[in-house]
Structure 1
Amino acid sequence: MKEIEIKLPKMGESIAEGTIISWSVAVGDEVEQDQTILEIATDKVDSEVPATADGTITELLVQSDEVVKVGQVIAKMTVGATQSPKKAVPAKTAKKEAPKKTAPKAAKKQTASSGLSSSSSYQVNSNQNTFFSPLVVSIAKQHHISFEELARIPATGNDGRLRKSDIFNYIEEGRPAQFAQPVPEASGFQVPDLKLDKGKGKIVEMDRMRQMIADHMVYSKHTSPHVTAYVEADLTDMVNWRNSNKKAFQEKYGERLTFTPLFVEAVAKAVKDFPMINVSVDGKQIIVKEDINIGMATALPSGNLIVPVVKNADQKELETIAAEVNALAEKARNNKLKHDETSGSTFTISNVGTFGSLMGTPIINQPEVGILATGIIKKRAEVMEYEEGDKIEIRHMMYLSLSFDHRVVDGFLGGSFLKRVADYFEDFKADRKI
């Protein structure tokens, strides 16, 4: 009989950590290999962690709500002994027997932060040094602290740098500068301390996913200066082709043909034409992605949104894209998506037309630098130009809107890319073979 360590397994591309939801076992429980022992959440989806062997749980090293890294030891168990059938203790019971959570000890307080006050009227001068180390940024993201709030924290490092101990001291004191107003210049504008009447009514608590979505949206707006461009596209040939071929397509490939695969195919082509739209920002560096992975914002039954990803969309035929889109949408509806299926996107499409919206101004899915919104397809009378003269015809029209990160995508690149997407939509071959 020997004792082994249970480590948090790798849960997908770009997933480095997760938050413990609950244990399904307690110390002393006998478990079988592949039996679920733990539920864990990431910023993508919830997952179950299985036992790696038959044995007996001897120690639980983490507890609910703790954030753990991939590869971190989360429990210990003995293996090699004869196991007798024993039902695992429900998560609630296990929770009581789990060891108490030990919070990371904050560094010794610095004199510079000892004068902080928890008053909502607290005012502070912004730090002159706006460079933050990756470690500080990582801690800030974990605690949902914006860059604006980071700039209000008193810094004790060299050249006004914000240190890890500064941010831990600040968090320990209750984040007194969270809603603080910066001290205005002599003629500067001071943000008014508005006492808004939020009214009365039924209180509905946000679920965990809605909280994460809210945090991500606020973080994205704080991180990227958003600019939105618009174009209009004539989808008549695409609409007519789909209507004429959707039945034959399903009979041949066994897949429904919606507009989403057609959109993904065209967007992947445009991204390939403009590789600088397929990037991420890392400090003062731009990472140009090798793969073109198209995310598609999808509504869940709960009303929340998730972004499953079609990997290497530029290298796949339409029937393959359609199969993946249908499978991902089905998994989303049934909460069956895996980490790998919701991570690694390099550009995202949000089909707001599904909800009847004419157009939208989507928020960028970090760490991407652009997101495309496709509006509703509507029949309209349009003036068409021909050699023999102008004619008024009924056409299938749609508005496209692109929100892009103006730090690295200027108006020329954003506008050119958006126009290229519209061109691919409009130039759809009406005689295309399935």
Structure 2
Amino acid sequence: MSTVELKMPKMGESISEATILNWLKNVGDTVEEDETILEIATDKVDSEVPSPCNGVITEIRYQPNEVVEIGQVIAVINADAVSATSHQKSEATETTAERSQKKPEPSAHTESRTTSSSDFKNLNLGENDGFLSPLIISIAQKENITIEELQSITGTGIDGRIRKSDVMQYLKNRKYPLPSRPQPSTPKSTYNAPPISFVEGKDRIVEMDRMRKMIADHMVYSKHTSPHVTSYIEVDVTNIVNWRNEVKVKFQEKHGEKLTFTPIFVEAVAKAIQEYPMINVSVDDKKIVVHNDINVGMATALPNGNLIVPVVKNADEKNLLGLAKRVNHLANSARSNALKPDEIQGSTFTISNVGTFGSLMGTPIINQPEVAILALGIIKKRPEVITTENGDEIAIRSMMYLSLSFDHRVVDGFLGGSFLRKVGDELEAFDINREI
């Protein structure tokens, strides 16, 4: 049998390895010379690998997502199978007239390719996600593209894979272009991470999915980029709690919308940003980009444990009903994986309701390229000393901690503390006589 080895091609002088993205052919498939067999990616470019000859693929040695050194054999092709294939094609040609009126049945070859593509997509990509090649990840890091931005890009490649052209087109229309990620000037740490204890048969290993890897990278990048400082205040939200308990049923009957605490929090944040606009900025090298729009992102937990940040656009221009409708829509869409690309990009400030999970307070990590993020703790009833007409008294009040993490490069203690206090004042001064 005459076999031809398909080797990982050399993509450049400095390239020593490449990642297999997708096989376009399977074992047993017939290929023609120069026909594309698979797609690969390096840290510089995505490429298609053609067949070196006519034949039938007899072996595939590496699977999608595997990194292969240049020159390694990745597949084997049987060139002798060409004659048998040609004979079968000849027989098929002789009977074409007899079958011309019949609708052709799907071939096993077609079914195999479809199943393989679907299996690959479900295994490596996750529902409605596109595979990210090393090139795409490199561009995203260089251009400071956030997780939400990258997720919003529609891929035009096979199975929705994001190509370089898709990212370049997005960057061309990006509203707030950001600088390339600064390269570290300090030497790489020689510290060796402590070994992880693993007990065979008891412990288990779970591979991070694509979204979790992006979140991890984004969080590490944010901590490396922004010097985080966190301030705390305690807020009396008794009036808000009592008002909501009184009107939530009427609100839903009248407007068909649930009334949660989130739109009230968003409203308070938007008002505070109007008074302190320098909290609504991004850092562009040595320049500060002051955003005119107040777009409040709301960190939302997904059923699979990951996190996404849908955005309430122009929050300062909406009344409480408008905010409630938008918040409910975004939250429901996030949980059902139905968010549109435009709904998860463009945030200028983010809130995270850690109290939903019972946390008293939190120290959230800034959602780059923003410069601050607000965490809202759990609302708890407890005895508090309050000042009344009769003097100081002890009363049961609904209390909540607010914590603001801010980027100390551009937000100092005065601005961060003043903004946080303003949010608290807006919540404590909530008008309990407002109409619904």
TM-score w.r.t. the length of structure 2 is 0.62
Could you tell me which amino acid in structure 2 is paired with residue 324 of structure 1? R
Q: SS at 1:150's partner residue?
A: coil
Select the residue among 230, 243, 246 that pairs with 1:244. 246
| 1:237 and 1:430 in contact (8 A); partners too | yes
| 1:225 and 1:407 in contact (8 A); partners too | yes
Deviations 1:342-398 (A, max 9, x none): 110000000000000000000000000000000000001011112321111100000
What's the counterpart of residue 331 of structure 1?
A: 333
- Structure 2: which 5+ runs fail to align? 1-19, 26-34, 49-103, 121-131, 147-179
For residue 195 of structure 1, report the CA deviation from its aligned partner.
3.5
What's the counterpart of residue 314 of structure 2?
A: 312
RMSD: 3.9
| 1:237 and 1:426 in contact (8 A); partners too | yes
2:142 is aligned with 1:138: yes
What's the counterpart of residue 295 of structure 2?
A: 293
Q: SS at 1:266's partner residue?
A: helix
**1:141/1:67 Cα in 2 relative to 1: closer, same or farther (>3 Å)?**
farther
Could you tell me which amino acid in structure 2 is paired with residue 378 of structure 1? K
| Cα distance between partner residues in 2 of 1:319 and 1:91 | 47
TM-score w.r.t. the length of structure 1 is 0.62
**1:238/1:103 Cα in 2 relative to 1: closer, same or farther (>3 Å)?**
closer
What's the counterpart of residue 114 of structure 2?
A: 90
What's the counterpart of residue 12 of structure 1?
A: none
What's the counterpart of residue 347 of structure 1?
A: 349
| Cα distance between partner residues in 2 of 1:250 and 1:21 | 49
**1:389/1:309 Cα in 2 relative to 1: closer, same or farther (>3 Å)?**
same
| Cα distance between partner residues in 1 of 2:306 and 2:186 | 32
2:193 is aligned with 1:151: no
What's the counterpart of residue 53 of structure 2?
A: none
| 1:264 and 1:313 in contact (8 A); partners too | yes
For residue 141 of structure 1, report the CA deviation from its aligned partner.
8.0
| 1:265 and 1:313 in contact (8 A); partners too | yes
Normalized per residue, which structure has more helix? 2
For residue 321 of structure 1, report the CA deviation from its aligned partner.
1.0
| 1:64 and 1:95 in contact (8 A); partners too | no
Runs of 4+ off more than 6 Å:
20-23, 59-62, 64-69, 84-88, 101-104, 134-137, 139-142, 146-149
For residue 90 of structure 1, report the CA deviation from its aligned partner.
1.8
Could you tell me which amino acid in structure 1 is paired with residue 116 of structure 2? K
| 2:299 and 2:308 in contact (8 A); partners too | yes
**1:364/1:21 Cα in 2 relative to 1: closer, same or farther (>3 Å)?**
farther
Identity among equivalent pairs (%) = 59
| Cα distance between partner residues in 2 of 1:325 and 1:261 | 7
For residue 292 of structure 1, report the CA deviation from its aligned partner.
0.4
What is the correspondence of 1:249-268 to structure 2 with a 5 Å cutoff? 249-268=251-270
Q: SS at 2:424's partner residue?
A: helix
| 1:147 and 1:222 in contact (8 A); partners too | no
| Cα distance between partner residues in 1 of 2:240 and 2:325 | 19
**1:387/1:149 Cα in 2 relative to 1: closer, same or farther (>3 Å)?**
same
| 1:294 and 1:347 in contact (8 A); partners too | yes
What's the counterpart of residue 216 of structure 1?
A: 218
**1:198/1:223 Cα in 2 relative to 1: closer, same or farther (>3 Å)?**
farther
For residue 85 of structure 1, report the CA deviation from its aligned partner.
10
For residue 273 of structure 1, report the CA deviation from its aligned partner.
1.1
Number of equivalenced pairs: 304
Deviations 1:80-119 (A, max 9, x none): xxxx9978952635999xxxx9998xxxxxxxxxxxxxxx
| 1:347 and 1:369 in contact (8 A); partners too | yes
Could you tell me which amino acid in structure 2 is paired with residue 279 of structure 1? V
Could you tell me which amino acid in structure 2 is paired with residue 293 of structure 1? N
| Cα distance between partner residues in 2 of 1:68 and 1:359 | 43
Could you tell me which amino acid in structure 1 is paired with residue 185 of structure 2? A
| Cα distance between partner residues in 1 of 2:44 and 2:320 | 40
| Cα distance between partner residues in 2 of 1:140 and 1:271 | 24
